[in-house]
Amino acid sequence: MQHRKLITMDEFTIRETRKFPQATGELSSLLRDIGLAGKIINKQVRRAGLVDILGEHGATNIQGEVQMKLDVFANETLINILKSSPDCAGIASEENDELVAFEDTFSANSKYIVLFDPLDGSSNIDVNAPIGTIFSIYRRVSELGKPCTIEDFLQPGNKLMAAGYILYGSSTMIVYATRIGVNGFTLEPSIGEFCLSHPNLKCPDNGKIYSINQGNWVKYDSSMINYLNYCMENNKEDSRPYSHRYIGSMVADMHRTLIKGGIFIYPADKSSVKGKLRLQYECNPMAFIIEAAGGKAIYGTGNILDIVPTELHERTPIFIGSKNMVSKAIEFVSAKEHVS
């Protein structure tokens, strides 16, 4: 096939799928549907600063339509698109208490289910900082021909078929991982296409940035304090302290960690013994992406991707990023477990 420079995400995904003769193309069309939802959410995100002029979210706009909050809008957009897709049997969302099983015949016969955090970092909307959407795709384990069930959504991350995120940053990007690698596509607004811009992404083995809400310091246990002191000291590996960066949008902090290397941490603390971030909507998809890019993701002493969820909205501590930095963090965490 002749090489050309501009490769759209759809074209790339189809080409990748062709490498597997048994593939039916359903996963590619599901990724295309998620990309479409991303473009629609992006259009709304880009107008977020104009709500005071055009009408507050929750107020009635000029056309007499009630404007939705962005996270509700993002959630409904994803649900509507996936519901009308023949390739998705059902969804679970950070914004919904229960899973939604699509009951039409096409959906009941489809192989895949999708989980998502429709708008991550939503507290950043008001200050015009980056936000994102995170998604995960599993092959269902329940019987085809019937609506999907809770077991489909309680699979460990090591069963993921694909996962990714859309970052509404200084440009809009979609990054997705399959078992064969991680690729990033930047939205070219004039043609409305995600174009391959970051092929075969690898997370550097080492990094110089640690990312954590250090304001929670007083709630951390001694192993975390020891680790943070290590980050702030002239450590042996780099003979300088690490830099600290924390946006407060996991998608944005993880995108930097993937590209530049580093470690992102949301640990357990005295008031949140399981941490804050959600296993199925945030931690598993990011762990899958980072591992496919050569990095590492742990919850303490074990791998995030090996946790078998017992409920839809489970939380977990997370240490994720460059493999050598995460391994170093494990030394501190295991030292604590040894003592207690």
List residues near Mn ion by CB under 5 A: 94, 117, 119-120
Q: Say if residues 122 and 71 touch (Cβ distance below 8 Å).
A: yes
Binding mask 200-239 for ligand AHG (x = CB under 6 A): -------------x--------------------------
Residue 118 CB, shortest distance to Mn ion, in Å, is: 6
Which 109-128 positions form the footprint of ligand AHG (CB under 6 A)? 117, 120-122
Binding site partner of 248, from Mn ion, ligand AHG, none, Cβ cut-off 5-8 A by kind? ligand AHG
Number of H helices, E strands in the chain: 10, 13
Residue 242 CB, shortest distance to ligand AHG, in Å, is: 18
Residue 14 CB, shortest distance to ligand AHG, in Å, is: 31
Instruction: Please provide the size of the chain in residues.
Output: 340
Residue 10: CB atoms within 10 Å: 17
Q: What is the DSSP letter of 50?
A: G
Residue 213 CB, shortest distance to ligand AHG, in Å, is: 3
Which 46-75 positions form the footprint of ligand AHG (CB under 6 A)? none
Report DSSP letters for 277-330, one per residue: SBIIIIIHHHHHHHHHTT-EEESSSSBGGG---SSTT-B--EEEESHHHHHHHH
Which 134-173 positions form the footprint of ligand AHG (CB under 6 A)? none
Q: Please, where are the H alpha helices in 182-261?
A: 222-232, 250-260
Residue nearest to Mn ion (CB): 120
Q: How far is CA 141 from CA 146, 155, 244, in A?
A: 11, 9, 42
Kindly state whether residue 181 participates in binding ligand AHG, applying the rule CB under 6 A.
no
Applying CB under 6 A, the site for ligand AHG has a residue count of 10
Beta bridge mates, 164: 135, 176
Q: Which residues bind ligand AHG (CB under 6 A)?
A: 94, 117, 120-122, 213, 248-250, 276
